[in-house]
Amino acid sequence: MPRTPPPRSFSRRRTGLSDETFDTLVFDWDGTVVPDRLADAKEARDRIEKLSDAGVHIFIVSGTHVENVDGQLRARPRCRGHLFVCCNRGSEVFRVTGDGTQLLDRRTASVDEDRALDLAAARTVEHLRERGLEARVVANRLNRRKIDIIAVPEWADPKKAEIGRLLNAVMARLAAVDMADLSEVIDVAAGAAHAAGLADPRITSDVKHVEIGLTDKSDSARWAAGWLVQRGITGELILVGGDEFGPIGGATGSDSFMMVDALSRAPVVSVGVEPSGVPEGVVQLGGGPDPFRQAPRCAAHSSS
């Protein structure tokens, strides 16, 4: 029998994703499901619990820690479909049940790795200062160090919706010291990380910060793919969602790290503004709140 790729036209068309039923949803949290970390997540909670009841597995992938996501979502599914929070930027996986959260997996840094992260962060700040850019290490998170490159009161705690203005402010700050964009800052951090002895540093940026770490969202996506393949759930049965797949200010979009080889056939959808466009294969739905009033309850809600 010939082993040719099956026809892409088989029973479905990849246009709006509305004609496909997925076994599993893998998606970013902040900016995708909720506009920011202070928003009321009740609507998301209702939907996620109902999807779990319907047997859909859900992986929430986030850079923050589990208390932030679970404290906002507060979903307690009955677990026909499993709910996972893959957090701390790829370093931890929690399962969420009716009883709360349960740690399933954690990447633990060795003493040498922690020391190397500290050293890499300090050297990055030092090198940036030599270039004229004031930056400072603001957080010592699990398996990563966070460096603030716009540590000014006006941008002390920018909301996700302010990303455009924040980007302009950061780009102006970089231009003032003859740095083209965030990619130069990332290069500085990567060089410092390698010099500090980190073999595989993961450098990311949310525009305000540059982070040096041992893991990133690709580790979350690979963990999810590994759990799913054991249950026969692969590729096109999985929907990946986020709001930052395209590059921003010269930095790789944080959600693009979820596009790992193990999920290469999974449809990917962006609900972000994506000022520089999205990588090939990503369906861009556009960002911002939807401009219509929600019906009292959707059809699925009223029937369940």
Partner 1 sequence: MVVRTRFAKLLDVQLTRRAEHRVPQIDRDPGWVLPLPPRIDQVRVAESFGWLGNGWAGTRGSLEEDGPDSTPLFPVSGVYDDGGKILPGPVWTGLDQPLGSRGRTGHHRLLDLRTGTLARGSPTGSDLRSMRFVSAASPQPWD
CA distance between the termini of the chain: 45
Q: Is 143 in the site for partner 1 (CB under 8 A)?
A: no
Q: Is 263 in the site for partner 1 (CB under 8 A)?
A: no
Q: Which of 7, 15, 130, 154 binds partner 1 (CB under 8 A)?
A: 7
Binding segment toward partner 1, per CB under 8 A, in 49-57, 59-67, 119-127, 142-150: 49-57
Write down the least CB distance from residue 259 to partner 1, Å: 16
* Total binding residues toward partner 1, as defined by CB under 8 A: 60
CA distance 127 to 89: 25
**Distance from the Cα of residue 126 to its chain's centroid:** 28
- Phi and psi angles of residue 195, each rounded to the nearest 5 degrees, phi first: -65, -30
Nearer residue to partner 1 within complex by CB, 213 or 287: 287
Nearer residue to partner 1 within complex by CB, 280 or 290: 290
* Residue 41, token pair as written in the block: 């997540």
Write down the least CB distance from residue 166 to partner 1, Å: 20
Encoded amino acid at 68, one letter: N
Q: Is 236 in the site for partner 1 (CB under 8 A)?
A: yes
Q: Is 235 in the site for partner 1 (CB under 8 A)?
A: yes
What sign results for the dihedral spanned by CA atoms 241, 16, 303, 235? negative
Q: Which of 157, 199, 230, 232 binds partner 1 (CB under 8 A)?
A: 232
Q: Is 25 in the site for partner 1 (CB under 8 A)?
A: yes
Nearer residue to partner 1 within complex by CB, 60 or 196: 60
The residues, any chain, with a CB within 8 Å of residue 220's CB and separated by 6 or more, are 59, 61, 86, 87, 90, 93, 258
Cα–Cα distances (Å) from 27 to 141, 159, 196, in that order, read 22, 19, 33
The residues, any chain, with a CB within 8 Å of residue 98's CB and separated by 6 or more, are 76, 77, 78, 79
Give the residues lining the site for partner 1 (CB under 8 A).
1-13, 17-23, 25, 27, 32-33, 35, 43-44, 47-48, 50-51, 54-56, 232-237, 239, 241, 265, 269, 271, 285-290, 292-294, 298-301, 303-304
